[in-house]
């Protein structure tokens, strides 16, 4: 099985914690996993066999966290060749914002516009639910990994 590279977008650390918990779970299942807290387009292009897992929060008014913006800008400005790359999306938001989940949808859209192929439906997490985001992500992950 190919390596999973988790592309983290996080302002206050929640998405990064979720990414770390996912890595622990995948490692324990024998799936080689790397957490990338500063994702750049070259990290995708230099590792063409990685399956990608975007794990990002939303900030501002539906914006991506600053650490993942360079990747997003490269996707929409430079049109890199990532056709057929397989990826998943975990989108951490807060439904009290009118821009709930907008940033996660934007990067999902940018990937698919370039011909990348999403595995499964995005997991959309709502901070107002009071649920533990890692618990929900790990439950979602079991089904996601079956599709790898």
Ligand X SMILES: Cc1cc2nc3c(=O)[nH]c(=O)nc-3n(C[C@H](O)[C@H](O)[C@H](O)COP(=O)(O)O)c2cc1C
**Site of interaction with ligand X (CB under 6 A):** 10-15, 57-62, 65, 92-94, 97, 99-102, 127
Minimum Å distance from CB 78 to ligand X? 25
Phi, psi of 13 (to 5 degrees): 105, -10
What is the distance between the alpha carbons of residues 62 and 97, in angstroms, rounded to a whole number? Answer: 8
Minimum Å distance from CB 60 to ligand X? 6
In the complex with ligand X, the residue whose CB is nearer, 71 or 82, is: 71
Minimum Å distance from CB 32 to ligand X? 24
In the complex with ligand X, the residue whose CB is nearer, 82 or 141, is: 141
Minimum Å distance from CB 113 to ligand X? 21
In the complex with ligand X, the residue whose CB is nearer, 39 or 93, is: 93
**CA-CA distances (angstroms) from residue 10 to 50, 79, 119?**
21, 24, 22
* CB contact burial 19-37 (16+ within 10 A = b; e otherwise): bbbbbebbeeeebebebbe
Indicate the SS3 state at residue 116: coil
Minimum Å distance from CB 129 to ligand X? 10
In the complex with ligand X, the residue whose CB is nearer, 4 or 125, is: 125
In the complex with ligand X, the residue whose CB is nearer, 40 or 63, is: 63
* CB within 8 Å of 50: residues ≥ 6 apart: 2, 3, 4, 5, 34, 44
Tell me how crowded residue 73 is: count the other CB atoms within 10 A of its CB.
13
């Amino acid at each position: 099985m190919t390596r999973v590279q988790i592309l983290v977008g996080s302002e206050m650390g929640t998405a990064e914690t979720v990414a770390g918990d996912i890595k622990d779970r995948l490692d324990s299942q024998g799936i080689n996993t790397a957490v990338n807290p500063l994702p750049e387009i070259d990290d995708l292009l230099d590792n063409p066999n990685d399956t990608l897992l975007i794990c990002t929060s939303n900030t501002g008014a539906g914006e991506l966290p600053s650490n993942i913006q360079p990747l997003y800008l490269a996707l929409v400005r430079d049109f890199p060749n990532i056709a057929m790359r397989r990826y998943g999306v975990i989108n951490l938001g807060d439904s009290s914002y009118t821009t709930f989940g907008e940033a996660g949808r934007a990067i999902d859209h940018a990937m698919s516009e370039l011909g990348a192929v999403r595995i499964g439906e995005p997991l959309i997490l709502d901070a107002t639910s009071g649920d533990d985001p890692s618990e929900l992500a790990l439950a979602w992950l079991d089904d996601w990994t079956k599709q790898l």
